[in-house]
Chain A
Amino acid sequence: MNWLMRRFRPEQIRWLVLLLLIIVVIFFFASQIDNYLSARFFVRVSTSVAIIAVIAVGQTLVVLTRNIDLSVGSIVGFTAYFVGQQLANNNEMAPLLAVLMATGIGAAMGAFNGILVSYGRVPAIIVTLGTLALYRTILVQYSDAQTVITASLPSWIVDYLPRANIFSIGNLDFRLLVGLMVVVVIIFQLVLSYLPYGRRLYAIGSNPDAARNAGFPSQRIVFFAFVLCGALAGLAGFMFLARFGNITVVAGLGFELKSVAAAVVGGVNIFGGSGTVIGTLLGAILIDLIDNSLIRWPEISQFWREALLGLMILLAVASDLVIMNRLRNMWARTELQMVQQETEEPLQQEEPRYAA
């Protein structure tokens, strides 16, 4: 047991459990559905996961600070529609400019949330419930009941981007969009693990008062978490556009809850202060895999998908509270024992000095 504890942290146990769950789910559906393990299904799930995971990474940053962003679905919808329309009007636009435009608009919307939450001191749930409605209204008003259609878009986003492969293993293709998601996940995992900004997100989430007393610019840190979350949602909006091509006013509806679910199932504590981006990625894979598999499973009506998602969030949060806390305590206790064993002799030597 001690050997195990010295080599793994509780978060890593969580990763292993999630990986195991994902494998179990794959085996289960493979035994139920004919032709389940096909290359086409892999491509569909992996690109779908790519979009959810990018949003969920942003959601993770916000949830780490003990906040929540329910407006991401509307941000995805608006950026997908707006950028799609700009590309339809001007087919010559540079691809990089389109990506920057999507991220920039998302960041601006996130900044609006961030200002209200950190400087206006309005609770995040209220602000983002409001902007969830507000951003969707702006989209509906802006779109004027029109739809962005695939035929009007330049060919690089319709034909090239969704079908471009980075590499293939056997007949499993890894699409460019999936590669983009992997880059995002790696960057933000490194930011959270090694940059001062990342560590401060954890500090604020674990104890906001202590973080403020320690002199962290809490308001600015939370503000930038919302900006980053919005920017990532904007990037996901671009990916959404690249994947589907046809964008209506309901684009991205419900993504806010899926992203929260991915983060929470992936082990991000809803009270803030703990969680990893890799965990979030695994959570996104698990949720989207179940979601996409249920559509193809004839035994159960696909209408169960939503109900299951709700139940999964609840179980994930409850298990985090009960099991993870127990695990962390166990780890802390053994660490204490190890420290005591190592320092037993020097402590005894020092004792007389204190007595004197």
Chain B
Amino acid sequence: MPPRQNFLLVVWDRLKSWEGFLLVILIAIIVINSIQTPAYLSIGNQINLFNLSIEKIIVALIMAFIIINAEIDLSVASMMGLSACTLGWLYSQGAPIFTAFLAGLVVGVLGGAFNAFWITKVRLPSLVVTLAMLIGFRGLARVLLEDKSIGDFPEWFDALGQQPLIGPFPLALIVFFILLVIAIIILQYSGFGRYVYVIGNNSEVARYSGVRVQRVKMILFIASGAISALAGLLYAARLGAVRGDLALGFELDIITMVLLGGVSIFGGSGSIYGVLLSILIVLNLRNGMSLSNITGHIQTGVIGALLILSVLIPNITQSVRNMLSRRRTAEAQ
């Protein structure tokens, strides 16, 4: 039996971790929001809050895998736009909506495979490949729809995005929860998840240990393309119309959610639980700002600042800790 520790000390220990820090911030934001807007904690507002950014948080799940693997995918938002535009273009050409939906998903898989080819076969850095495809996929989306907007989808398709499907939950939210459970199982409890961490920590060591590094990366980038495409299609259903600039700039929010969740940009550490907490923080922050009549542009600026801080703060605490321990050893000598 371990000696019984003071309950407060245990809580304090937990809070000192990054997740604890996030929890405190989350509670603070929720308390401030509830004081300012009494109806804030109602179920309706909470579901609405998820609903308004549901596509971003779906993509954030796969982005967590990729950043833990020490890579990055900047092309996700453009892929969302491309898949939605594929749907819109095929539909406007007279294809049934179901076929168009499938075609959107196929485009996602192909786009992901295209990224994966340059990253794993030609061995270009993912930063460059996906930066190029950030422009490339967006360009293709604009080629498909030019400056038109495609709408008038069948009613059931719009309803899928806008109406609750089971109880108060719309389809996208259910998709998110299913993917969340799958992500937790794969990343925290499966062999593949271990590979993702090991490669992120040190891909050379992983290779010498017999991990098929390139194959894991290929799977991740194809999955990223497919899930981004799915998110784009769900977004099209929710908006009821698609345009070439759909989901423009979403990569900022998505990467912020992942990095704020304690995933190291250098790979190898972080967890889905932390990402979930930071998703809640970003959602509540954006919702609170909207309720306080703060415009979308300032919200984007705040998210940008949050992105920088989420990497800067751990760096600063690390150097302070190093300095203190150095001083302590110096005193001991």
Contacts and interface: CB of A to CB of B under 8 A. Distances in A.
A271 interface: yes
Given A129-B255, A307-B136, A309-B135, A318 B122 contact: yes
B109 interface: no
Interface stretch (B1-9, B22-30, B96-104, B309-317): B309-317
A141 B297 contact: yes
A133 B252 contact: yes
Contacts of B259: 126
Interface stretch (B31-39, B139-147, B170-178, B222-230): B139-147
A281 interface: no
Interface centre among A127, A129, A131, A308 (most CB of B within 10 A): A129
B138 A306 contact: yes
Nearest to A70: B131
A68 B72 CA distance: 14
Contacts, number: 129
B118 A314 contact: yes
A: interface residue count bin: 35 or more
A257 B304 contact: no
B307 A130 contact: yes
A313 B252 contact: no
B324 interface: no
B135 A133 contact: no
Given A120-B316, A271-B125, A314 B142 contact: no
Interface in A121-152: 121-123, 125-127, 129-134, 136-138, 140-141
Interface in B244-260: 244, 249, 251-252, 255, 259
A169 interface: no
Contact of A123 (B122, B128, B249, B265): B265
Contacts of A322: 122
A131 B308 contact: yes
A132 B304 contact: yes
B117 to A, nearest CB: 11
Contact of B307 (A126, A271, A304): A126
A101 interface: no
A310 B252 CA distance: 19
Contacts of B303: 133
B128 A257 contact: no
Contact of A305 (B122, B139, B252, B266): B139
A78 B53 CA distance: 29
A231 B133 CA distance: 28
A132 B301 CA distance: 9
A310 B308 CA distance: 26
Contacts of B277: none
B255 A257 contact: no
Contacts of B315: 120-122
B89 interface: no
Nearest to A313: B132
Contact of B135 (A125, A136, A137, A257): A257
A310 B118 contact: no
Contacts of A306: 135-136, 138-139, 142
Contacts of B252: 129-130, 132-133
Contacts of A309: 135-136, 139
Contacts of A132: 252, 304
B27 to A, nearest CB: 25
A186 interface: no
A120 B244 CA distance: 37
B84 interface: no
B110 interface: no
Contact of B304 (A133, A271, A313, A318): A133
B291 to A, nearest CB: 19
A108 B3 CA distance: 56
Given A129-B252, A317-B128, 9 more contacts: A125-B127, A133-B252, A134-B305, A137-B298, A257-B131, A301-B143, A307-B135, A317-B124, A317-B132
Q: Which 4 A-B pairs have the closest CB atoms?
A: A310-B136, A137-B301, A307-B139, A306-B139
